[in-house]
Amino acid sequence: MYLYLDESYNLKDRTKPQFISINGFQTVDVKKLWRRWKAYRLPFVGKSRIHAADRLFEPLRTKLLKFIYNQPDIKLLTVMQEISLIPASGEIEYYGKEEQLLFDKVYADMLKALFKASHIQAYKKVYITVDSRKHQHGVLSKVQFHKNILSFLKNWYPNTIVHFEMQPSYSNILLEIADFISNSFYRQYIGQEMKLLEPLKGRTLIMKNPLKRG
Check if the beta carbon of residue 77 is closer than 8 Å to that of residue 210: no
Q: For the domain that residue 141 is a member of, what is the CATH number? A: 3.30.420.10
The reply to whether 107 falls in a domain is yes
- Quick check: 46 pLDDT over 90? no
Question: pLDDT band at 214, cuts 50/70/90?
Answer: very low
The reply to whether 213 falls in a domain is no
Instruction: Determine the Cα–Cα distance for residues 87 and 114; give it in Å rounded to an integer.
Output: 18
Instruction: Determine the Cα–Cα distance for residues 57 and 27; give it in Å rounded to an integer.
Output: 24
Judged by DSSP in three states, 174 sits in helix
The reply to whether 112 falls in a domain is yes
Question: pLDDT band at 213, cuts 50/70/90?
Answer: low
Judged by DSSP in three states, 161 sits in strand
Percent of the chain with pLDDT over 90: 82
Instruction: Determine the Cα–Cα distance for residues 145 and 80; give it in Å rounded to an integer.
Output: 19
The reply to whether 214 falls in a domain is no
**This prediction's pTM:** 0.94
* 152-163: average pLDDT: 96
- Tell me the residue range of the domain where 74 lies: 2-208
Angle at the Cα of 127 from the Cα atoms of 123 and 130, rounded to 5 degrees:
135
Instruction: Determine the Cα–Cα distance for residues 21 and 198; give it in Å rounded to an integer.
Output: 18
Question: pLDDT band at 4, cuts 50/70/90?
Answer: very high
Instruction: Determine the Cα–Cα distance for residues 204 and 10; give it in Å rounded to an integer.
Output: 22
Check if the beta carbon of residue 167 is closer than 8 Å to that of residue 179: no
The reply to whether 152 falls in a domain is yes
The reply to whether 174 falls in a domain is yes
What DSSP line would sit under 61-128, residue for residue?
HHHHHHHHHT-TT-EEEEEEEEGGGS-SSSSS--B-GGG-B-HHHHHHHHHHHHHHHTTGGG-SEEEE
The reply to whether 66 falls in a domain is yes
Looking at the structure of the chain, the number of domains it has is: 1
